[in-house]
Structure 1
Amino acid sequence: MTTSNQESFNVLKVATLLAGPIIFLIVLNTLSIEGLNEGATPVIAIGAWMVIWWMAEAVPLPVTALLPLILFPLLEVFSTGEAAAPYASPIVFLFMGGFLIALAMEKRNLHKRIALNIIKLTGTDANGIILGFMLATAFLSMWISNTATSVMMLPIALSVVDLLDNTDADSSYRKGYRKFALCLMLGIAYAANIGGTTTIIGTPPNVVFVGYMQEFYQKEMAFGKWLFIGVPVCFTLLSVTYLMMTRVLFPHRLQKLAGSASLIEDKLKELGPMSKAERWVAVIFGLTAACWIFQSGINELLGGKYLDNTIVAMAGGVLMFVTPVSFNRHEYVLDWKSTERLPWGILLLFGGGLCLAKGMESTGIVQLVGDSIAGSGTISLWLLMLLLTGFMLFMTEIMSNVALTVIFVPVVLGIADSLGVNPLYLAIPVTLAASCAFMMPISTPPNAVVFSSGHIRMADMVKAGFLLNIISVIVLVLIGLSLVKWVYG
């Protein structure tokens, strides 16, 4: 970055940093809305400050999320205890437990073994390799961070791409090689984004939504039921994405990749046989996933509501710390030092979002916005879903999907309440859309990770991403709504 660019950046940074509190003071001292209680104006003012800082990323997102904890008690919206409660919501600990399990998988290389074996199963045909990487990436993103998954898959994919690099080949081969590399890189990013939609813990927007359902409706979203929506949506989007890239957008016409099978075998040999620690991680992960999926059946068998999503997640996380690998060395599957890599900021972001939403709901803001947008109630449910889902998806291209979900989902819930429809009909497709931004490197961390490979041009990502965005909106509205109605009635 040149000196002049750096100066311009610094000026913009200071401007956005000051804009938040300035707008807050203006709104706080001038806004008055009939029909709302006295606490509404401070909540709107704080929300405006947070939106500005979140959109401009003037400070780290989790820092912005701490504003309600400070300002709500000072402005007498909530007491300190009431403002702090959402930061310790069960949803925060649900995601924390999921993070701990993911950290253990990464520490013991179980995630890499799973990925390599999936890729091995799909064969050495060029499109088979792309499919294998996409399936492996999507499966891992169901359980661990899509960013971590992309970072892990990228060097393996680059090794495969290097096998094909032949600078002496004719122009036709070189063109096919570039398209293969492009498909492989985009496939990893897109599969990481799509895979996260499959489970409640797969991506932060899902967890934010589940938190709102508990906060607003005291409704717990069952892990197993979510799979009945997430799996078909993931399968459909993954299939469409693979076919569009390999058959329509970037057909490479390469066949069997010489050396790719031995490369995957070499990577597996580097891992060696499963260690005792890795086997324990696999067992605990399997037990945790089974308890999530069959939670209601287990509770019925035990004759009470003993398990919920949070208890299962934290039990799985704690087991990683107490399961011994070697008593002599005092070694356990996971040690506390590993939690330095736990994304604590995301947990604060959840808490801040839930606190802001609690303020918006308790002061009547959510209902007022919902009534205003719903209007006379004559708008078609399908059209409304299309507009809301499309807005969420395309806004995610330029704004953090977690922050956008925190801001926008309460509005969607308010609209649903105003129309008298099941809030899940609108909110689930909108929430899933937050993870389906495919156009820009800045849209999601996986997009940025693969863009850094040097095999993707901005024009190619925008071209593929725009078309897939449109397809995703249609899939989420048509298939998503049908599945939600089937699962939740």
Structure 2
Amino acid sequence: MRQKITLIVGPLVALIICLWPDGIFSPLMDRVLAIALWMVIWWIGEAVSLSVTALLPIITFPLLGVAAVGAVTQHYANPIVFLFFGGFVIALALEKVNLHKRFALNIVRITGTNANGIVLGFMIATAVLSMWISNTASTVVMLPIALSVISLLTKKKKKPQKKYRRFALSLMLGIAAAANIGGMATLIGTPPNSVMLAFLNQQYQIDIGFFQWMTFGVPFATVLLIGAYFVIVHWCYPSHLGALESSSEVIEQELSTLGKMGSKERTVLFIFLTTALLWMLRSQLNNWFPILNLTDTLIAMVAAIALFVVPAGGQKKPFVLQWEDTKNLPWGILILFGGGLALADALSQAGFIEAIQQFVAANDQWTVPMITVALIILVLFLTELMSNVALVTVFLPVIGGIALGLGAPLLHLIIPITLASSCAFMLPMATPPNAIVFASGYVSVPQMVKSGILLNLVAILLLLCFSWLLLPVVFS
């Protein structure tokens, strides 16, 4: 029902604004506002696919005289879109050769057989995977292994004791939280980070390097992960199980099934490690060899193409990836990036950002800390109800105007708000990892809400601390 209503309401609101007697603002601002509200309504109500909504600017902006087709479509081929494409291809290769699973199992094996240690191991493994592959994929990888551990512990018990149910609950919630947290550590780990990067690059010519982001993102994600571990395992749902020797049996069995590392796995590992190293050393390499002119996008695309052309053994399929494998790429996310950039540019060209800047500047009773706290809380609430990509796409132009109006450093507002959009811990429908673990049957909505509220409070505290202490140092 919600979909049907918003499907009609979106274009209807746009039509009313365009036909409003004497207009609301200037003619250009009215037309851009009309399309922006149409897109926001469809995104919030999920009237159609988020990616389909993101295509609206290609049609509506030229028809309404906002921008030419060529000017609109260039946003869908922004370099940041190709950075994320390269990241998707690398993640696809990791998943195809099962390297991500081997890596995760070895991390879990290291953390031991203590119940709390097992949960911590699964959380670390999930978070590290989520730095490089989607949070959905990292959850899908870890969930069957976790379910096998739970099944082995309870298969001889007709009615599992409360402490076993608590262990299963904390394990499921830990995996979901870690999948959401891990992506914040890298620019390609979660779509909102890349949307932010593209927006800053396009609107303000601000470039954030891959390694530069990690010097902020990794410490933040690490501390938040530790906080999530204590909230879930020690405060909300302690199991008091102690050692679980049989858990190692599941891990060893899974590793045995994978067998020895093959030539394709070794090829993917080499390309992955080389890419990560180049991302980290890009600035230094450009200083030493200016002719290279390396960018994060260039490095990502070299790696992506290498996975299609570097021989890796095998007769029929000698390469790691074939083009048919790309049917599993999340192409819709790339379109969503383009639509968001097109909308942000139109809002800027129409004068909305400048208007917000002037409005905020005229209200001198507002302070940067007050606005930061209010926006973080608002985004944490909204991200439980709508796509974090759509949320960031809509909010960033507004936040840019607010920051300029306050005279505050742009990144000091934009980065914490972007990270807040990935802190969806309370509801199953908020993010795919939450929905996946909820479907396991070990988690109820009230249980997820209980831990999610505490996690959100921890996230608010850490976002403020890191924004005021570490962020000015890294992004000086």
Question: TM-score band, normalised by the shorter chain?
Answer: over 0.9
| Aligned positions, number | 476
Which residue is 2:175 aligned to? 188
Q: 1:294 & 1:74 partners in 2: Cα distance?
A: 45
Q: 1:45 & 1:469 partners in 2: Cα distance?
A: 33
Alignment of 1:100-119 (within 5 A): 100-119=89-108
Contact 1:438 1:468 in 2 (8 A): yes
Give runs of ≥4 in structure 1 deviating > 6 Å.
31-34
Greater mean deviation of Cα atoms: 14-23 or 96-105:
14-23
User: What is the aligned counterpart of 1:142 among 126, 131, 138?
Assistant: 131
Which residue is 2:53 aligned to? 64
Residue 258 of structure 2 is aligned to residue 271 of structure 1: yes
Contact 1:141 1:195 in 2 (8 A): yes
User: SS where residue 377 of structure 1 aligns?
Assistant: coil
User: SS where residue 447 of structure 1 aligns?
Assistant: helix
User: What is the aligned counterpart of 1:348 among 328, 335, 348?
Assistant: 335
Which residue is 2:442 aligned to? 455
Greater mean deviation of Cα atoms: 153-162 or 297-306:
297-306
Which residue is 1:421 aligned to? 408
Quick one: which amino acid aligns to residue 21 of structure 1?
P
Deviation string, structure 1 residues 415-441 (Cα, Å, up to 9, x no partner) = 011112111000000000111110000
Q: 1:366 & 1:324 partners in 2: Cα distance?
A: 50
Quick one: which amino acid aligns to residue 340 of structure 1?
K
Quick one: which amino acid aligns to residue 117 of structure 2?
G
Q: 1:99 & 1:350 partners in 2: Cα distance?
A: 14
Deviation at 1:369, TM superposition (A): 2.5
Q: 1:174 & 1:194 partners in 2: Cα distance?
A: 30
Alignment of 1:248-259 (within 5 A): 248-259=235-246
Alignment of 1:308-327 (within 5 A): 308-326=295-313
Deviation string, structure 1 residues 180-212 (Cα, Å, up to 9, x no partner) = 101000000000000000000000000000001
Q: 2:291 & 2:284 partners in 1: Cα distance?
A: 10
User: What is the aligned counterpart of 2:40 among 41, 51, 57?
Assistant: 51
Alignment of 1:330-345 (within 5 A): 330-345=317-332
TM-score, normalised to structure 1's length? 0.95
Contact 2:383 2:391 in 1 (8 A): yes
Which residue is 1:3 aligned to? none
User: SS where residue 76 of structure 1 aligns?
Assistant: coil
Deviation at 1:410, TM superposition (A): 1.2
Contact 1:213 1:220 in 2 (8 A): yes
Quick one: which amino acid aligns to residue 142 of structure 2?
M
Quick one: which amino acid aligns to residue 82 of structure 1?
A
Quick one: which amino acid aligns to residue 245 of structure 1?
I
Deviation at 1:379, TM superposition (A): 2.0
Q: 1:62 & 1:316 partners in 2: Cα distance?
A: 26
Deviation at 1:158, TM superposition (A): 0.3
Alignment of 1:204-243 (within 5 A): 204-243=191-230
Gaps of 5+ in 1: 1-8
Deviation at 1:374, TM superposition (A): 5.2
Deviation string, structure 1 residues 342-390 (Cα, Å, up to 9, x no partner) = 0000000000000000000111112212433454233221121111111
Greater mean deviation of Cα atoms: 270-279 or 385-394:
385-394
Contact 1:32 1:41 in 2 (8 A): no
Residue 57 of structure 2 is aligned to residue 97 of structure 1: no
Which residue is 1:387 aligned to? 374
Greater mean deviation of Cα atoms: 478-487 or 123-132:
478-487
Quick one: which amino acid aligns to residue 20 of structure 1?
G
Contact 2:367 2:406 in 1 (8 A): no
Gaps of 5+ in 2: none
Q: 1:83 & 1:241 partners in 2: Cα distance?
A: 41
- Cα 1:70–1:216 shift into 2, 3 Å: same
Alignment of 1:391-402 (within 5 A): 391-402=378-389
TM-score, normalised to structure 2's length? 0.97
Quick one: which amino acid aligns to residue 353 of structure 2?
V
Which residue is 1:306 aligned to? 293
Residue 427 of structure 2 is aligned to residue 437 of structure 1: no
Contact 2:185 2:214 in 1 (8 A): yes
Residue 151 of structure 2 is aligned to residue 162 of structure 1: yes
Greater mean deviation of Cα atoms: 373-382 or 218-227:
373-382
Q: 1:167 & 1:444 partners in 2: Cα distance?
A: 34
Deviation at 1:37, TM superposition (A): 4.9
User: SS where residue 347 of structure 1 aligns?
Assistant: helix
Contact 1:200 1:223 in 2 (8 A): yes
User: What is the aligned counterpart of 2:188 among 201, 221, 229?
Assistant: 201
Deviation at 1:32, TM superposition (A): 6.2
- Cα 1:484–1:252 shift into 2, 3 Å: same
Contact 1:122 1:129 in 2 (8 A): yes
Deviation string, structure 1 residues 123-167 (Cα, Å, up to 9, x no partner) = 011011000000000000000011011011101000011122167
User: SS where residue 98 of structure 1 aligns?
Assistant: helix
